[in-house]
Amino acid sequence: MSVEVKPISGFKTSNDLEVLDVHRHVPVNLRQSGDNGSRMLISQRMRKSPFWHLSQEAGCWCYEVYNHMYHPRAYVPWEEGGVLKEYEYLTEHVTLWNVAVERQIQVKGPDASKLVDLAITRPVEKVKVGKARYVILCNEEGGIINDPVLLRPNEDEFWFSLSDSDVSLWLQALNMTNKFDCTVREIDVAPVQIQGPKSTALMIDLFGERIHDVPYYGLLEGEVNGCPVIVSRTGFSGEAGYEIYLYDASINAERLWYHLLEAGKTHNLKVIAPGHIRRIEAGILSYGQDMDLETNPYQVGLAWQVDLNKSRFVGKEALARIKNEGVTSKLAGLKFGGKQIDWYPADYYIVYAENETKPVGYITSAFYSPTQGCNIGYAMLPNSFSTIGTQLEVHLPEPYAGGRVNAEVAETPFKPPEFPGTGLTQTGRKL
């Protein structure tokens, strides 16, 4: 079965694009329209991860490009439930994800902490040895460059576990211009994620009871089937979960993967794609969709990441100005009608005020939520339309509607994550 999404017409005029992108230098690609059955070329030009062939064995049938690498996006066939069935495995059992696209950029040397502290908006001293933290990097205008997990396996060593942008080049430039005594390079370490309510039970089988001593965003060194790994208690799902970072991944990929499949049998482990339905429910943002270089932390619920008391970091002056002046648009949660969105949107879904013809915003992420019983997503909206309870309309393409459906700005997270994290604890909401 193929997904048919017909192009939307009638509202993508130059004036509409101008209204929606008034504060951007490079417009959001609102003219993209549908999927006519295009096929991605799989070639040597794009990098395959150490787990590429293993994902194929597990039934992966759809990929996209992430960090210049092929990224699995679907395993369960349509006739067996598709991505919504994968959500069921994630929320009821335990799942294995190939997330090698989270390239590991190592900063190592006597000045490693100085370089990292300059690059991130939070104080580096809060990242103790044996810990990890969610961080963001901004440019000199306050735009978000990346939102990686930052690991500190040793006193003089950090790993940036990247979302989708070329941070290695950025860090190398900062290192060179500031003449720090450290190196910046990608290393042959590739992670997989173990996510779902039975994940801890599986991890006990792999590492013993000591896994209970690993706090949220804590690290554990160990071995799986003789392969050296670092484990972090993190993930992209909102469920209980862990990431296993495999050393010498190009050599050890099969030894780790097959052992995980065998150990997971008693827990009903399934290989699935990263769970975007659950991450939207949990208020977890995706770089390149919900934020990018032309959005700042104050627009996307990440103000808690910015410590203006730090003496120095890239973007500090711009972020201080933005905080003082305020933002005019922000990301907000939406619940909306239409048939169940059961596939990654191939269009921007445009947002309107009720009974108005001019668009006011666009949806950045969307899926059907089984727990909410409706379609949910995030939308970039003017402040005046971002208040919880505001009534709006969303234009959905066929087969989901072929026209406008009712929408309402909703509180996030739609479904709380298993661990609330610093941002939710401090602010009481995600956006």
Cα 392 to chain center, whole Å?
Answer: 26
| Residue 418 marked as a ligand binder | no
Tell how strand 269-271 and strand 94-98 pair up. parallel
Look at residues 366, 275, 242, 256 and name the one whose alpha carbon lies nearest to residue 75.
275
Helices (H), 100-242: 112-119, 167-178, 199-207
Please give the structure tokens belonging to residue 199: 């994940």
List, in sequence order, every beta strand (DSSP E) within 9-143: 62-66, 69-74, 94-98, 104-108, 131-134, 137-138
Q: What share of the chain is helix, strand, coil (3-state, %, to 5)?
A: 25, 30, 45
Please give the structure tokens belonging to residue 270: 């399934």
Residue bearing tokens 């554990």: 220
d(CA 297, CA 142) in angstroms, rounded, equals 8
Half-sphere exposure of 186 (CA within 13 A, CB side): 14
Give the number of other Cβ atoms within 10 Å of residue 21's Cβ.
16
Pair 381, 360: CB distance under 8 Å: yes
332: CB partners within 8 A, 6+ apart: 378, 379, 381, 385, 386, 409, 412, 431
Pair 52, 70: CB distance under 8 Å: yes
Please give the structure tokens belonging to residue 411: 């509180």
Binding site as annotated, residues: 243
Binding site as annotated, residues for substrate: 243
